């Protein structure tokens, strides 16, 4: 990603000015240990919603007379990937303010999903949305 590129450029500059012709004084690639944590903290709420709905569906579908194929997927992971791909495609067609509105709606959806799980209605609600 871009952070890796910037890290490589910075290390190349150091190599040329601080340690000319000295190999191995710095790692060959930029080392960013906190990057996975940073990305996880800033995950797109719509992507998170896709993941959480897939997880909840996998818990509910066990008791339903349907399978993943009835949800146009082959598995939980396929459902989540398809959901994320659909969001990514939609996002590119939206204007910035529309993206902000959609992200807010996904945040609200995540909150609703937690509340439905807490009050025990998550499977009923998801079934109404995806099956009935």
CA-CA distance, 26 to 117, in Å (whole number)? Answer: 50
Please tell me the predicted confidence (pLDDT) of residue 131.
Answer: 86
For 23-67, the three-class secondary structure string (H helix, E strand, C coil) is CCCCCCCCCCCCHHHHHHHCCCHHHHHHHHHHHHHHHHHHHCCCC
pLDDT band at 132 (very low <50, low <70, confident <90, very high): confident
Q: Mean pLDDT, to the nearest integer, of 39-68?
A: 89
Backbone φ and ψ of 75, nearest 5°: -165, 175
Please tell me the predicted confidence (pLDDT) of residue 2.
Answer: 40
Please tell me the predicted confidence (pLDDT) of residue 73.
Answer: 95
pLDDT band at 52 (very low <50, low <70, confident <90, very high): very high
CA neighbours closer than 13 Å in the CB half-sphere of residue 101: 6
pTM: 0.66
CA-CA distance, 112 to 84, in Å (whole number)? Answer: 19
CA-CA distance, 29 to 5, in Å (whole number)? Answer: 9
pLDDT digits (tens, 9 = 90+) for 55-97: 999 999 999 999 999 999 999 999 999 999 999 999 999 999 9
pLDDT digits (tens, 9 = 90+) for 1-39: 444 433 444 444 444 444 555 555 555 555 455 555 444
């Amino acid at each position: 990603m871009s952070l890796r590129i910037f890290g490589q450029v910075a290390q190349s500059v150091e190599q040329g000015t601080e340690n000319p012709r000295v190999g191995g004084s710095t790692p060959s690639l930029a080392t960013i240990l906190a990057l996975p944590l940073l990305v996880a903290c800033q995950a797109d709420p719509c992507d998170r919603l896709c993941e959480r709905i897939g997880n909840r569906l996998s818990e509910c579908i066990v008791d339903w007379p349907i399978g993943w194929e009835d949800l146009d997927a082959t598995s939980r992971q396929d459902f989540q990937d398809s959901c994320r791909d659909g969001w990514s495609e939609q996002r590119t067609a939206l204007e910035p303010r529309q993206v902000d509105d959609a992200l807010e709606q996904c945040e609200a959806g995540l909150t609703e999903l937690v509340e439905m799980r807490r009050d025990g209605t998550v499977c009923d609600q998801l079934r109404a949305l995806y099956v009935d």
